[in-house]
Amino acid sequence: QEPLDVESIRADFPILDREVGDGAPLVYLDNAATTQTPEQVIDVFSEYYRGYNANVHRGIHQLSQEASIAYEEAHDRLAEFIGADGREEVVFTKNTTESINLVAYAWGLNELGEGDAVVLSEMEHHSSFVTWQQIAERTGAEVRYIRVDDDGYLDMDHAAELIDEDAAMVSVVHASNVLGTVTPMRELADLAHDNDALILGDGAQSVPNRPVDVTDLDVDFYVFSGHKMAGPTGIGCLYGKQEVLEDMEPFLYGGDMIRRVTFEETTWNDLPWKYEAGTPLIAQGIGLAAAADYLDDVGMDAIQAHEERLTEYAYERLDEFDDVEIYGPPADDRGAVVAFNVDGIHAHDLASILNDHGVAIRAGDHCTQPLHQKLDIAASVRASFYFYNTMAEVDALVDSLDAARDIFG
């Protein structure tokens, strides 16, 4: 794999040049929370507002036609990006969280009941954890949690035990936003389908960072967010297999999602519009397609390879210290996140001191309180990388830990 020309990539991201605090150069290592946006995406966004801002699907006038075509083609672009069959299988939502809620409400509330099980893992993000927990409570379904072992891997024997004939839905993260664990999604899909269950893959941390093909994964649903893949905020995707989306009830009702409305009854629009009620996320959707173009230009294989180098280097440098505990699988087998604690320094204090040095990392439970309970820690700090990060930025992270040790040590 050719190394990335990170210097020229960074020139596309104006924000990376800024300074923070007392003039420290920004070292942005909070990419699992939100990634930065290149000029190419910002341009597409502003071209929309400067040139053809209009509501879609309703207008005869030229602006509306231009906006409709761009918005619809954005679905084609995203379908291509994740290996879906076509726009019918790509619903635009606000984010990963809304995508999961859409499935939980539209499918879960109607299909789940006493005797059914929803199978999650112990490392799910709250967006999946809380949503399924609530829907299970309302429907009488049981929630089961696949064990995460001491090395941060899913216990696949336990998965095979839990995914039995009562399982109706398996909803598992594809790459953990804390441990970095990459789960065997295809194996989980086969287990689910052998038991007539559906599977939802949470791709929030995988679609941005590695090539993903939903057809190869054979998942029924797959969800991700635009703001974690160099796209705008306020846009996410729900991929669904066409036959599954055809069968499912709508989530939100209103304009645009209907075919015909009479005093007696209403029929639904074609896919994917059946699931996009009201004025959709037009600028954001078009911006997300531009982000997919940008990522493909850089190359998803090259992005993954660069992030693996950064992650391995960060892990190895951090691992040299006796007072640092890193959570999750080994350096060479994880997504681009490294969550850790430094002995004797609270995660929030550490993040605050690093911020004084320009280093932006996250502290807290990263929306995975149950996982943190299992790890028996209140919080952790998390450095997370994207393809525009450099080895020098990893050094800046590691070196600034000393400043925290000086204060608290």
Catalytic residue among 367, 381, 383, 398: 367
- Residue 380 interacts with ligand PMP (CB under 6 A): yes or no: no
What is the rounded CA–CA span in Å between residue 354 and residue 193? 46
Q: Which of 37, 68, 177, 181 binds ligand PMP (CB under 6 A)?
A: 177
- Residue 173 interacts with ligand PMP (CB under 6 A): yes or no: yes
Contact by Cβ (8 Å): 336, 209: yes
Which of residues 214 and 401 has its CB atom nearest to ligand PMP in the complex? 214
Q: Which of 97, 171, 183, 209 binds ligand PMP (CB under 6 A)?
A: 97
Q: Which residue has the tokens 């596309």?
A: 12
Q: Which of 75, 125, 144, 362 binds ligand PMP (CB under 6 A)?
A: 125
- Residue 127 interacts with ligand PMP (CB under 6 A): yes or no: yes
Q: Which stretch binds ligand PMP (CB under 6 A): 10-18, 201-209, 214-222, 384-392?
A: 201-209
Which of residues 64 and 369 has its CB atom nearest to ligand PMP in the complex? 369
Query: Strand, coil or helix: what is 118?
Result: strand
Which of residues 84 and 120 has its CB atom nearest to ligand PMP in the complex? 120
Binding mask 349-368 for ligand PMP (x = CB under 6 A): ------------------x-
Which of residues 203 and 358 has its CB atom nearest to ligand PMP in the complex? 203
Which of residues 95 and 284 has its CB atom nearest to ligand PMP in the complex? 95
Active site residue 367: yes
Two tokens, residue 100 = 């999961």
Give start and end residues of each alpha helix (H) in 25-61.
Answer: 39-47
**What is the C-alpha R_g of the chain?**
22
Neighbours of 186 (CB within 10 A): 15
Contact by Cβ (8 Å): 171, 124: yes
CA-angle at 109, arms to 202 and 163, nearest 5°:
55
Contact by Cβ (8 Å): 283, 52: no
DSSP per-residue string spanning 191-258: HHHHTT-EEEEE-TTTTTTS---HHHHT-SEEEEEGGGTTS-SS-EEEEE-HHHHHHSPPSS-SSSSE
- Residue 101 interacts with ligand PMP (CB under 6 A): yes or no: no
The minimum distance between CB 362 and ligand PMP, in angstroms, equals 9
Contact by Cβ (8 Å): 13, 38: yes
The minimum distance between CB 252 and ligand PMP, in angstroms, equals 17
Which 202-261 residues touch ligand PMP, going by CB under 6 A? 202, 204-205, 225
Q: Which residues contact 403 (CB under 8 A, 6 or more apart)?
A: 353, 356, 357
Which of residues 203 and 272 has its CB atom nearest to ligand PMP in the complex? 203
Which 66-95 residues touch ligand PMP, going by CB under 6 A? 95
Q: Which stretch binds ligand PMP (CB under 6 A): 200-208, 282-290, 295-303, 351-359?
A: 200-208
Q: Catalytic residues, which ones? A: 367
